[in-house]
Chains A and B, each alone.
Chain A
Amino acid sequence: MHFLNSLAVVKDFKYAESHEWVKVDGKTATVGITDHAQDHLGDVVYVELPEVGAAVNQGSGFGAVESVKATSDIYSPVSGDVVEVNEELNNTPGLVNSSPYEKGWIMKVEIKDDSELKNLKSSDEYAKFCEEEDAKH
C-alpha cells in the first residue's frame, strides 16, 4: 500500500476519478470505493447493492453509499454483468470504512471489454489525482 496523507491506495488496483477501485482477476473485476472516498464520507451506514445478474456500464451508477452526513452514488469502473455482491455489507456497512480494499468490496463484475481498463488510473496516478484535488480546496 502506498500512503498519501495517511490514506492508502493499493498498487495493482485500477482507479476511477469518481473514486472507485477495481481489482482485476482474469475476467472478474472486484469493485469498491477508495480509502480517500470513505474518509471523506465518514461513517457508512447503508450500502445499496446492485442485483446479481444486472448489467453495469463503465461510468454509470450502480448503487449508492450512505453515510451519516451524505448520500453518494457509486459508478461502475467497468462494463459487464454483476456476478456477486458483498452481502456482508447489508449487516455491516462499516466494513467500507474499516476495510475499503478488502472486506468492504461492493460487487464483482464479469468484464465485457478489457480495453476499457485503459481508461482507468494506476495507483500512482490516482494518488496524485487525489493530492491535486485536495490542494484545490
Chain B
Amino acid sequence: MAVSPVVSKSSYDCCFDQIYSVKKMRGGGLWQLGQSITRRLAQADKKAVGRRYFASEAEQKKTVLYDFHVANGGKMVPFAGWSMPIQYKDSIMESTVNCRQNGSLFDVSHMCGLSLKGKDCVPFLEKLVIADVAALAPGTGTLTVFTNEKGGAIDDSVITKVTDDHIYIVVNAGCRDKDLAHIEAHMKSFKAKGGDVSWNIHDERSLLALQGPLAAPVLQHLTKEDLSKVYFGEFRITDINGARCFITRTGYTGEDGFEISVPSENAVDLAKAILEKSEGKVRLTGLGARDSLRLEAGLCLYGNDMEQHTTPVEAGLNWAIGKRRKAEGGFLGAEVILKQLAEGPKVRLVGFTSTGPPPRSHSEIQDEKGTTIGEITSGGFSPCLKKNIAMGYVKSGSHKTGTKAKILVRGKAYDGVVTKKPFVPTKYYKPS
C-alpha cells in the first residue's frame, strides 16, 4: 500500500511546496499532512518518499503546548515549519463530530498575530486589504484578503480594529514570511511619506481556538467578561483564567467559538482549565479534524482554495469587499477586482457533493459532455454529513447550484453536483 498525500501523483512538487506554504491559522493542507503521518507505509514513489522525508526531518518549530500535545497522545506532524498535532487519540471522524456536538480546543499558535499601531494605521492597512477598515466599529473585526497588484490573494486573514489607532491581525503560518515582508515594504514607503504606523509581532503570545456549542459556557467559567454581549466578529481584551488575553469571537469551523491570544507562559494552564471546566466534553482537536470542519463550513484554505493568482471575487468573497471599497478602490489590484465585480469573474469557487471516492485537490471537473470545466481545490469525506464534499473552481456558467458535473478520481468519472456552501449550517453567535 502506498499512501499518497491527497494530491495526484503528478503533483508532488506542488504538494511539497504546500507543506511550506499552507496557511497557519486556518488549518492546512491536511492531505499533505496525512501523508507525513503515513509516509512510512509508502514505498512506491521514490521521489515522493524522498521529498516527504526531507520535509519531515527538517527542523520544526514547537509551540509552548508541544509537550502538552504529546502527553495527551497528539500525533505530531510537520506543518508550515511547525510540529503540530494532526490528531490525538480520538479519530478525525470522532473529533469532527464532537466539535459540533460539544466542543474542540485547538492549538493554533503557529499562526502569526501582529498589531499595527499609530494614528494612520487604518489608511495604511486599507492600501493592502479589501475590507472597509475605516467603517469597522472599535472592537470588531472581519475576514479579509491581502491582495497583490494583480488582484490575487497574498493571504486571507482576520483583522480587528481594537481602536482607531490599533489593528490586530492574524495571518497564516505558511504565509508569515511573505506577509510580513509585504507589510514591512509598504510600511517603509508609507512612513517615508510621513505616515504614522508601526507594528508589533506577538511572538510572546500563543493562540488557542475554542469552538463548538460548549465554547461560550466553558469560557464563561474562566472570565468576568459577559460573553453573551460579545457577538460574532467582536474583540475584547480581558482577563481569562487570570491572564490578560485578546479574545475574538470567530473561528474556522463554522461553529460559535473564540480565538484566544494568551501570553505564552499562561497557555498550558489555560488549555488545562478549559478542558477541566468542560468536564471532558471539549476535546483536544488536531489539524485533521480542523480541515474537515472548515471544509464542511465552506471556508477557504489558503494554498488550496485561494492562491496568488485567485482573486477574492473568484473565491466568492465579494461580501468582504466593503461597499466604499467597491466604489473607490484604493487597494492593490483594485482595477482587476473592480472590473471582475462589474463583468463577473471567468471562474468561480463552488461547492460539490459527489458519489464514489472523495474528490481531492487537483481532481478534474468535467461537464456532462466530458469537457473540462475546472479543478477541485479541496475535498474529502464529511464526517458530519457522511458523504463526499469538495470545493473547486469552475467556469462561470457551470457554477449554479444544482449543475451536474463529473469529477475524475484516478481516471474514472463520478457524478457530482454543484452544492451550496456551507455544507453544514454555520452557528455564528449574532444579535437576534
Chain B binds chain A:
yes
Determine if A70 and B381 form an interchain contact, defined as CB atoms under 8 angstroms apart.
Answer: no
In the bound complex, residues from chain A placing their C-beta under 8 Å from that of B91 are 42-43, 68
Determine if B40 and A137 form an interchain contact, defined as CB atoms under 8 angstroms apart.
Answer: yes
A-B CB pair tally, cutoff 8 Å? 104
Determine if A37 and B1 form an interchain contact, defined as CB atoms under 8 angstroms apart.
Answer: yes
In the bound complex, residues from chain B placing their C-beta under 8 Å from that of A18 are 1-2, 41-44
CB closest residue in chain B, given A136: B40
CB closest residue in chain B, given A73: B2
In the bound complex, residues from chain A placing their C-beta under 8 Å from that of B42 are 18, 72
In the bound complex, residues from chain A placing their C-beta under 8 Å from that of B92 are 42-43, 68-69
Interface size on A, residues (CB 8 A): 31
Determine if B288 and A75 form an interchain contact, defined as CB atoms under 8 angstroms apart.
Answer: no
Q: Does B87 contact A (CB under 8 A)?
A: yes
Q: Mark A70-102, 1 if CB is under 8 A from B, else 0.
A: 111111000000000000000000000000000
Determine if A43 and B356 form an interchain contact, defined as CB atoms under 8 angstroms apart.
Answer: no
Find residues 295-315 in chain B having any chain A CB closer than 8 Å to their own CB: none
Determine if A71 and B360 form an interchain contact, defined as CB atoms under 8 angstroms apart.
Answer: yes
In the bound complex, residues from chain B placing their C-beta under 8 Å from that of A45 are 358, 381
User: Knowing A43-B92, A46-B356 touch, does A70 contact B44 (C-beta < 8 A)?
Assistant: no
Pick the contact of A68: B4, B43, B292, B357 (CB < 8 A): B292
User: Knowing A40-B40, A45-B381, A73-B44 touch, does A68 contact B288 (C-beta < 8 A)?
Assistant: yes
Q: How far is the CA of A71 from the CA of B35 in the complex (A)?
A: 8
User: Knowing A40-B38, A41-B3, A48-B357 touch, does A69 contact B31 (C-beta < 8 A)?
Assistant: yes
Q: Does B30 contact A (CB under 8 A)?
A: yes
Q: Does B338 contact A (CB under 8 A)?
A: no
Q: Mark A111-137, 1 if CB is under 8 A from B, else 0.
A: 000000000000000000000011011
In the bound complex, residues from chain A placing their C-beta under 8 Å from that of B381 are 45-46, 66, 68
Q: Mark B29-52, 1 if CB is under 8 A from A, else 0.
A: 011011101101111100000000
Determine if B357 and A69 form an interchain contact, defined as CB atoms under 8 angstroms apart.
Answer: no
Determine if B357 and A66 form an interchain contact, defined as CB atoms under 8 angstroms apart.
Answer: yes
- Nearest Cβ distance between residue A75 and chain B, in whole angstroms? 6
Q: Does A22 contact B (CB under 8 A)?
A: no
Q: How far is the CA of A92 from the CA of B104 in the complex (A)?
A: 27
Q: Does B380 contact A (CB under 8 A)?
A: yes
Main secondary structure of the interface of B (DSSP, over half): mixed
Q: Does A35 contact B (CB under 8 A)?
A: no
Determine if A46 and B2 form an interchain contact, defined as CB atoms under 8 angstroms apart.
Answer: no
Counting chain B CB atoms within 10 Å of each CB, the highest count among A65, A66, A68, A133 belongs to A68
In the bound complex, residues from chain A placing their C-beta under 8 Å from that of B5 are 70-71
Q: Does B224 contact A (CB under 8 A)?
A: no
- Nearest Cβ distance between residue A106 and chain B, in whole angstroms? 10
Pick the contact of A70: B6, B56, B96 (CB < 8 A): B6
In the bound complex, residues from chain B placing their C-beta under 8 Å from that of A137 are 40, 56
Q: How far is the CA of A57 from the CA of B36 in the complex (A)?
A: 28
Determine if A17 and B43 form an interchain contact, defined as CB atoms under 8 angstroms apart.
Answer: yes
Q: How far is the CA of A46 from the CA of B1 in the complex (A)?
A: 15
Q: Does A58 contact B (CB under 8 A)?
A: no
Q: Does B243 contact A (CB under 8 A)?
A: no
Pick the contact of B358: A37, A40, A66, A134 (CB < 8 A): A66
Q: How far is the CA of A133 from the CA of B91 in the complex (A)?
A: 22
Determine if B41 and A72 form an interchain contact, defined as CB atoms under 8 angstroms apart.
Answer: yes
CB closest residue in chain A, given B386: A45
Q: Does A110 contact B (CB under 8 A)?
A: no
- Nearest Cβ distance between residue B51 and chain A, in whole angstroms? 15
Find residues 57-112 in chain B having any chain A CB closer than 8 Å to their own CB: 86-87, 91-93, 96
User: Knowing A40-B38, A40-B41 touch, does A69 contact B1 (C-beta < 8 A)?
Assistant: no
CB closest residue in chain A, given B96: A68
Determine if A70 and B43 form an interchain contact, defined as CB atoms under 8 angstroms apart.
Answer: no
Q: How far is the CA of A54 from the CA of B276 in the complex (A)?
A: 55
Pick the contact of B93: A43, A70, A73 (CB < 8 A): A43
- Nearest Cβ distance between residue A1 and chain B, in whole angstroms? 20
Q: How far is the CA of A101 from the CA of B358 in the complex (A)?
A: 24
In the bound complex, residues from chain B placing their C-beta under 8 Å from that of A56 are none
- Nearest Cβ distance between residue A3 and chain B, in whole angstroms? 18
* A and B contact pairs by CB, cutoff 8 A, 16 listed: A41-B3, A41-B38, A45-B381, A46-B356, A46-B381, A64-B357, A66-B358, A68-B93, A69-B288, A70-B3, A71-B31, A73-B1, A73-B4, A75-B1, A75-B44, A133-B40
9 closest cross-chain pairs (CB), A and B? A69-B34, A70-B34, A45-B381, A72-B3, A43-B93, A46-B357, A40-B38, A68-B92, A19-B1
Given contacts A42-B288, A69-B86, 7 further A-B contacts (CB under 8 A): A19-B41, A20-B1, A40-B3, A42-B91, A70-B37, A72-B41, A137-B56
